Amino acid sequence: MTLRISIIGFGAVGQGVAEVLMRTNHPVRVVAIADSRGAVVDSCGVDLADALQRKRDAGTVATTDMTAIDIIEGVDHEIMVETTPTEMATGGIGLIHIKKAFEKKRHVVTSNKGPLVAKYSELCRIARENDLHFRFEATVGGAMPIINLSEEILAGNRVLAIEGVLNGTCNYILTRMDDEGVSYEQALGEAQELGIVEADPTADVEGIDTVAKIVILANSVFGMDVGYEDVDVTGITKITPEAFKLAKEGGYTIRLIGEIQDGTLKVAPKMVPRNHPLNIGGTFNIASIQTELAGRITIGGIGAGSIETASAILSDILWIKRVLGD
């Protein structure tokens, strides 16, 4: 059976989902796409090339003034893909969309961190009570498959600790400052040109985005029930070229590291030996997972970006498809 999905939010990630579905040949039909200005709906399958072109030309995908809520409520489909901009404090509009989708008995796949940071346990409970799937691999590490790896591939093998570089923007800035000695401001400007920086750059450089990812990992992989306020956070804005010089002399670099260890959650810049696996460069993310039986497993990947993040969403969609027996 062809699985029907909606894409709610048609920014970089939502467009990436349309792109990857066009490039691949999976029996997944997009029956509606919504952005903040309207929507396009077609129960036979939205023409994705057309939708992407309209978004580029007109700044909106809309051919009707239907809203995201109208689509979630009134258009028949199995999976709602939520890719609206994140709002960390309250969960924002994404939280409303996800709750509405569950109410209408739709499975949810999302890249939106905010709803998970604000209401993880409540959303999981609603999904469980309604026999619905709730998948969010794309929220942490873009293309890097850390949540599903820890929960499924490593099933039966308790995860004891995770530490990692989980923010591409900060890692890019720190790499440029270290390698080329460029100023913090210049490196931030370059990262913005790459299109990976959050709408509010403080979310990246003050460590907020990394905190969100640590909260999501703590709740999903470690079964904790924590929120933003449970993480001790220091950002990268105060790191000077002199700090890099001193680190270099000792054989170290500086990376923003998020860690979960012995029930403690922390995000802070750390000295990392130059030959250490966490000394990854550029926009890459990397995570080292300490397991009970398999020792240390380290994975890396592109931590942000339209197609890369969409690849994680596609894998969650196809997981649901498989589990539903389609």
Annotated active-site positions, please? 213
Q: How far is CA 154 from the centre of its chain?
A: 20
Q: For ligand HSE, what does the binding mask look like between residues 111 and 150, x meaning CB under 6 A? A: -------------------------------x--------
Task: State how beta strands 134-135 and 107-110 pair.
Answer: parallel
Q: How many residues bind ligand HSE (CB under 6 A)?
A: 11
Element (H, E) at 247: helix 241-249
CB of 44 to ligand HSE, least distance (A): 34
| Residues 147, 226: Cα–Cα separation, whole Å | 16
Considering beta carbons, is residue 6 or 139 the nearer one to ligand HSE?
Answer: 139
Considering beta carbons, is residue 51 or 231 the nearer one to ligand HSE?
Answer: 231
What part of residues 156-215 is at the interface with ligand HSE (CB under 6 A)? Answer: 167-169, 196-198, 204, 209
Residue whose entry in the numeric block shows the structure tokens 């894998």: 315
Kindly report the backbone phi and psi dihedral angles of residue 177, in degrees, each rounded to the nearest multiple of 5, phi listed first.
Answer: -65, -40
* Under rule CB under 6 A, residue 303 binds ligand HSE: yes
| Residues 18, 36: Cα–Cα separation, whole Å | 17
Q: Would you give the DSSP letter of residue 276?
A: S
| Residues 237, 32: Cα–Cα separation, whole Å | 41
* Under rule CB under 6 A, residue 82 binds ligand HSE: no
How far, CA to CA in Å, does 132 sit from each of 26, 126, 223, 276?
22, 8, 19, 41
Residue ranges binding ligand HSE (CB under 6 A): 142, 167-169, 196-198, 204, 209, 303-304
